[in-house]
Chain A
């Protein structure tokens, strides 16, 4: 079963990286959004490997089922189909940006990949119980009750704000 875990990890990692690259490089925003959905799917698979089942399903429900649907909806509403030729030319600024980002990638990768090499080789034995809805629910509503309330308030504020911002003015 250890090999299986590695195979699944490699498959999800390849899908995630490929879809992330495609997301950044596609011209058509709808394709970008679809690749981002694929990326979220692969990442939620990685969460399952980490035994964080609740977060994996939250990821599917909230990110893929709600946030990305919102994105697609807005892209459709704005009809960006005609705007494919949005000036996406290659300039020196962009080349510099890409080079610096690759440098950042190298830096992060060296720090995290080689810095943590051999530090932790196995998932903690309590990880399976931590990822369950019962445990997370108890933690959330007992220890972190106040932040949950604040998050609820924030969501309410976001709903009101979105309605006010996007409301059509009838003149």
Chain B
């Protein structure tokens, strides 16, 4: 049983479509308020007020911004390759949203509990780079092209530490299915994989290695979503806005939306793998908090916490240079994850 909708209404095509509705609604609302949240948090960090004109304390700001973007004319540059230019935001958007199919929100709600769920997520999110690339190429603008080249080298490189940092959890849980990984972490905060997973001995031995894996997974997913300090793809001060430079109106909004959707998606993946997903941190001490409907709250609040960390890092750290970015990936993250993988694999075998 994947989710409560199919168990209530039976398994047919209509219910499979219905399952997507709450997910899309959640992502839409999240994206709207994450933009506002980001602006408010950055304002708070820089001792400013932030948006405060539309609605009480600016709560309607992004809705108004969205309306403005919808009203704008569809502009394509005259030398651009029109079809590909218009296709690019759709690809980025679709790839960002398809990942949500395997993100578990509760023990009774997941789009599809595939037995290859985690693998599916990495495969689908890796398609977004195609969209960024053809966006940069078809704009026929040198800054866009630089942005596209940078995005490819960055995202393709950082896919490796992302996958390698996720493998330890898969080895310990013995499954690629998201729900199984979460069920393995039952029984309170100390059984989460960031603390070494269930089992007293494994906690003692594996805690430092699992913690490293979790941190590396978080760093490399940050790079995959092009967030600062890894936002050389957009880098306003160097290449203006990278691949987004020629896009305006709804097409730009789609890129923006996809970026925020992906922020939550990777946060949810990190929380599923290492922070117990929808598991309550109190375990069986307070059984009420393990209620399937309260689990929604745990899953979403853990995701939002990680999104907050992403925003916090963005407004704290400066941007890396291109060569530093590659150095971090190939000379630090990958060797460290390989050592981690070796030790945890040794433990899992023995």
Contacts from A to B (Cβ < 8 Å):
4, 28, 30-31, 34, 37, 53-54, 57, 60-61, 64-66, 68-69, 72-73, 76-77, 132-133
Measured CB to CB, the closest approach of chain B to A117, in angstroms, equals 30
In the complex formed, the residue of A with least CB distance to B83 is: A31
Asked whether A57 lies within 8 Å of B84 as measured between CB atoms, the reply is no
In the complex formed, the residue of A with least CB distance to B170 is: A133
Interface SS, B side? helix
Complex CA gap A87/B126 in Å reads 35
Chain A CB within 8 A of B223 CB: no
Asked whether A30 lies within 8 Å of B137 as measured between CB atoms, the reply is yes
Interface residues of B in 105-126 (CB under 8 A from A): 114-116, 119-120, 122-124, 126
Given A60-B123, A61-B122, is A72 in contact with B81 using a C-beta cutoff of 8 Å? no
Asked whether A73 lies within 8 Å of B152 as measured between CB atoms, the reply is yes
Asked whether B152 lies within 8 Å of A69 as measured between CB atoms, the reply is yes
- Contact residues in B for A54 (Cβ distance below 8 Å): 116, 119
Measured CB to CB, the closest approach of chain A to B15, in angstroms, equals 14
A31-B83, A69-B133, A76-B133 given. 19 additional CB < 8 A pairs?
A: A30-B81, A30-B134, A37-B130, A57-B119, A57-B120, A57-B123, A61-B123, A61-B126, A64-B126, A65-B123, A65-B129, A66-B126, A66-B156, A73-B149, A73-B152, A76-B136, A76-B149, A77-B149, A133-B115
In the complex formed, the residue of A with least CB distance to B145 is: A76
Asked whether A65 lies within 8 Å of B176 as measured between CB atoms, the reply is no
- Contact residues in B for A60 (Cβ distance below 8 Å): 123-124, 126-127
Measured CB to CB, the closest approach of chain A to B101, in angstroms, equals 13
Q: Enumerate 14 A-B pairs (CB-CB under 8 Å) in ascending A order.
A: A4-B13, A30-B137, A53-B114, A53-B116, A54-B119, A57-B116, A61-B119, A61-B122, A64-B126, A65-B127, A76-B145, A132-B115, A132-B116, A133-B116
